[in-house]
Amino acid sequence: MATAYCMKCRKKVEIKKPKQVTLKNKTPAVQGVCPVCGTKVFRIGKA
Protein backbone atom coordinates (compact mmCIF):
# COMPACT_ATOMS: atom_id res chain seq x y z
CA MET A 1 0.00 0.00 0.00
CA ALA A 2 1.02 3.57 -0.60
CA THR A 3 1.77 5.97 2.24
CA ALA A 4 1.33 9.71 2.40
CA TYR A 5 1.86 12.47 4.94
CA CYS A 6 -1.34 13.63 6.67
CA MET A 7 -1.19 17.34 7.43
CA LYS A 8 -3.84 17.10 10.15
CA CYS A 9 -2.35 14.09 12.01
CA ARG A 10 1.22 15.26 11.30
CA LYS A 11 2.47 11.76 10.50
CA LYS A 12 2.81 9.28 7.64
CA VAL A 13 -0.29 7.16 7.14
CA GLU A 14 -1.35 4.40 4.77
CA ILE A 15 -3.68 5.71 2.07
CA LYS A 16 -7.25 4.43 2.38
CA LYS A 17 -9.25 4.19 -0.89
CA PRO A 18 -6.23 4.98 -3.12
CA LYS A 19 -7.02 6.37 -6.57
CA GLN A 20 -4.54 6.90 -9.42
CA VAL A 21 -4.69 10.43 -10.84
CA THR A 22 -2.63 12.31 -13.42
CA LEU A 23 -1.56 15.91 -12.87
CA LYS A 24 -1.70 18.59 -15.58
CA ASN A 25 1.98 18.03 -16.43
CA LYS A 26 1.34 14.26 -16.96
CA THR A 27 2.93 13.29 -13.61
CA PRO A 28 1.27 10.30 -11.90
CA ALA A 29 -0.04 10.71 -8.35
CA VAL A 30 -2.12 8.87 -5.77
CA GLN A 31 -5.01 10.49 -3.93
CA GLY A 32 -6.96 9.02 -1.05
CA VAL A 33 -8.19 9.43 2.51
CA CYS A 34 -6.43 9.30 5.88
CA PRO A 35 -7.72 6.28 7.86
CA VAL A 36 -7.32 8.12 11.18
CA CYS A 37 -9.01 11.51 10.63
CA GLY A 38 -10.65 11.24 7.18
CA THR A 39 -8.72 14.11 5.61
CA LYS A 40 -7.66 13.94 1.93
CA VAL A 41 -4.06 12.85 1.47
CA PHE A 42 -2.00 13.12 -1.71
CA ARG A 43 1.23 11.53 -2.90
CA ILE A 44 3.05 12.51 -6.10
CA GLY A 45 4.63 9.60 -7.94
CA LYS A 46 3.58 6.03 -8.69
CA ALA A 47 2.19 3.89 -5.88
5-44 b/e with 16+ CB inside 10 Å = b? ebeeeeeebebeebeeeeeeeeeebbbbbbeeeeeebebe
pTM for this structure?
0.81
The reported pLDDT for the residue numbered 47 is 57
Mean pLDDT of the chain: 93
Q: What is the pLDDT of residues 30-45, one digit of tens each?
A: 999 999 999 999 999 8
The reported pLDDT for the residue numbered 46 is 72
Name the residue range of residue 15's domain: 3-44
In total, how many domains does the chain have? 1
